Amino acid sequence: MPRTLFRSAMFRSALVAALLVPVVHAATPVEAQKARHEHYEKLGKAFKAVRDQTSTDSPDFAVLQQNAEIVNEASVNQQQWFPKGTGPEAGKTRALPEIWSKPADFEAAQKMFSDRAPKLLAAAKAKDVDAVKAAFKDLGGSCKNCHDTFRAPEH
Amino acid sequence: MSDPDPRPASPVEDARVRVWDLPTRLTHWLVVVLVALSWWTAETGRLEWHRWSGYTLLGLVIFRVYWGFVGSSTAKFTNFVRGPRAITSYLKGGWAATAGHNPLGALSVLALLALLIAQIALGLFAVDIDGIESGPLSLYVSFEAGRVAAGWHCDVFNVLLGLIALHLIAVAWYVLFRKQALVAAMVHGERSYPEPQPASVQTASAPRLVIGIVIAVVLTWMVTRAFRF
């Protein structure tokens, strides 16, 4: 019966799924590049906020912790920001092809970041400025480590 | 001249005149070395050194501006910065030689100094794309503003390079075609001039020099501390 069909749980689930498809459809390579750029910009802002706080004599630990959390989340999430096909072949990006041609090296570089980020958060939570500064410097090293090999120079 | 000169008259025997005092020469060559160092450290990503190089340049430029007001006679702006009429007169050859910058060269000095000041100021506020490396005053501006400053820091440097090239070409022209030993003069401070020789540089007193160094060091230190003490 049509009426029972429309009311069936299976049909409703299918309808919901059909409606959701356009929303959760896989991003196009250009969209993925744009999203990645925005993610890294947010990360850059968080880094600046941490640096600004450590440059003052009385850092705001709430701000430090909040931004250290952004950095920590990004360190895990960035492993999802480089889907295949989002390199220079898809559009303007500084992401180098080596990201996809040397996946093991790239994963190791990403892991260095995600291993070090929690230390910044821990130092911020412990309200230890010197530890924050040390962790920040350490973390900066992991950024540079990856960028040297997998990011094209600015100009 | 009442006393006959025993030497044969020759243009190479022109009398030597002291043109530049030591502080001006030292400032000039330190700026040369530090602009080169700043360039190299920026290109190779040595940002810690780049900051120190920039701070030193800031101190040197502060000192040079101070010296332009109270320093030796040839370093003082009022003694060499001239208007368009003097520049035209110089270009037509109707300008009596004075020790130091000529009216046209004065424009080059002002332009180079202004660009150096702009370049240093932009660097103080610049933020790199990762928010990791930044100038000491960047904590007073947003990430976006810091990025704009960094972009200009890059563009102004290219203009500065262009002006430096122009400066070098002009100096080479004077050395090769006008036989004026300008580079040597900036090294040892003296130059030979034909008759009538211009007056030598009048040096400034040692206390003035010490005050200038103290001002430059203190102001630079304050900037590196972002005015937080």
DSSP secondary structure letters along A74-143: HHHHGGGS--TT-STTTSS-SB-THHHHSHHHHHHHHHHHHHHHHHHHHHHHTT-HHHHHHHHHHHHHHH
Q: What is the mean pLDDT of residues B148-171?
A: 97
Q: What is the mean pLDDT of residues B31-54?
A: 96
Domain annotation covers residue A66: yes
pLDDT score at A3:
57
> Above 90 in pLDDT, residue B96?
no
Q: Radius of gyration of chain B from Cα atoms?
A: 21
> Above 70 in pLDDT, residue B9?
no
Interface contact flag, B131 A45, Cβ < 8 Å: yes
Structure tokens at B85: 């009429």
Residue found by looking up tokens 């995600």 in the block: A114
Domain annotation covers residue A8: no
Domain annotation covers residue A21: no
Question: Is the Cβ–Cβ distance between B62 and B216 less than 8 Å?
Answer: yes
Interface contact flag, A45 B228, Cβ < 8 Å: no
* Distance, CA of A61 to CA of A123 (rounded, Å): 10
Which CATH number applies to B11-224? 1.20.950
Domain annotation covers residue A17: no
Q: What is the mean pLDDT of residues A80-89?
A: 92
Q: What is the mean pLDDT of residues B44-49?
A: 92
pLDDT score at B36:
98
> Above 90 in pLDDT, residue A98?
yes
| Count of other CB atoms within 10 angstroms of residue B29 | 11
Interface contact flag, A48 B143, Cβ < 8 Å: yes
- Chain A residues with CB-CB distance to B146 below 8 A: 48
pLDDT score at B13:
59
Give the percent of chain A with pLDDT over 90. Answer: 72
CA–CA–CA angle B224, B122, A47 (5° rounding): 70
Q: Across all residues in chain B, what is the average pLDDT? A: 92
For chain B, what's the residue count?
229
Largest CA distance in chain B: 74
pLDDT score at B111:
97
| Count of other CB atoms within 10 angstroms of residue B148 | 16
Interface contact flag, B129 A56, Cβ < 8 Å: no
The CATH number of the domain where A139 resides is what?
Answer: 1.20.120.10
Structure tokens at B137: 């005053």
B158-197 residues touching A, CB cutoff 8 A: none
Taking CA atoms, B222 is separated from A70, B215, B217, B225, in Å, by 32, 11, 9, 5
Poorest-confidence range of B11-20, B162-171, B179-188, B206-215?
Answer: B11-20
* Distance, CA of B51 to CA of B35 (rounded, Å): 12
Which residue in B136, B143, B154 is closest to A44 by CB distance?
Answer: B143
Q: What is the mean pLDDT of residues A44-64?
A: 92
CA–CA–CA angle A14, A18, A24 (5° rounding): 125
**Residue B17: helix, strand or coil by DSSP?**
strand
- Chain B residues with CB-CB distance to A52 below 8 A: 138-139
Express each pLDDT in A14-30 by its tens digit.
666 666 555 555 678 89
Give the closest-approach CA distance of A52 to chain B in angstroms. Answer: 5
Domain annotation covers residue A155: no
Q: In this structure, what DSSP letter does residue B3 have?
A: S
Residue of A nearest to B224 (CA): A55
pLDDT score at A25:
56
Can you name the residues that pair with B17 across neighbouring β-strands?
Answer: B191
- Chain A residues with CB-CB distance to B132 below 8 A: 47, 51, 140, 143-144
* Distance, CA of B81 to CA of B75 (rounded, Å): 10
Confidence of residue B2 (pLDDT cuts 50, 70, 90): very low
- Chain A residues with CB-CB distance to B154 below 8 A: 155
Poorest-confidence range of B47-61, B172-186, B189-203?
Answer: B189-203
Domain count, chain A: 1
Give the percent of chain A with pLDDT over 70. Answer: 83
B183 phi and psi angles, rounded to 5 deg:
-65, -45
Domain annotation covers residue A6: no
Q: What is the mean pLDDT of residues B199-215?
A: 96
Residue-number span of the structural domain to which A49 is assigned? 27-150
- CA nearest neighbour of B101 among B194, B11, B182: B182
| Count of other CB atoms within 10 angstroms of residue B157 | 18
Confidence of residue A44 (pLDDT cuts 50, 70, 90): very high
Confidence of residue B38 (pLDDT cuts 50, 70, 90): very high
Confidence of residue A4 (pLDDT cuts 50, 70, 90): low
Contacts 24+ apart (CB under 8 A), B162-166: B163/B108, B163/B111, B163/B112, B163/B115, B164/B35, B164/B112, B166/B108
Express each pLDDT in A104-152 by its tens digit.
999 999 999 999 999 999 999 999 999 999 999 999 999 989 999 999 9
Domain annotation covers residue A124: yes
Q: Which residue has the higher pLDDT, B8 or B22?
A: B22
Largest CA distance in chain A: 74
State whether the Cα torsion B7-B9-B10-B14 is positive or negative: positive
Q: Which residues of A touch B (CB under 8 A)?
A: 40-41, 43-49, 51-52, 55-57, 140, 143-144, 147, 154-155
ipTM above 0.85, yes or no: no
Domain annotation covers residue A10: no
pLDDT score at A21:
56
Element counts in chain A: helices (H) and strands (E): 7, 0
pLDDT score at A20:
58
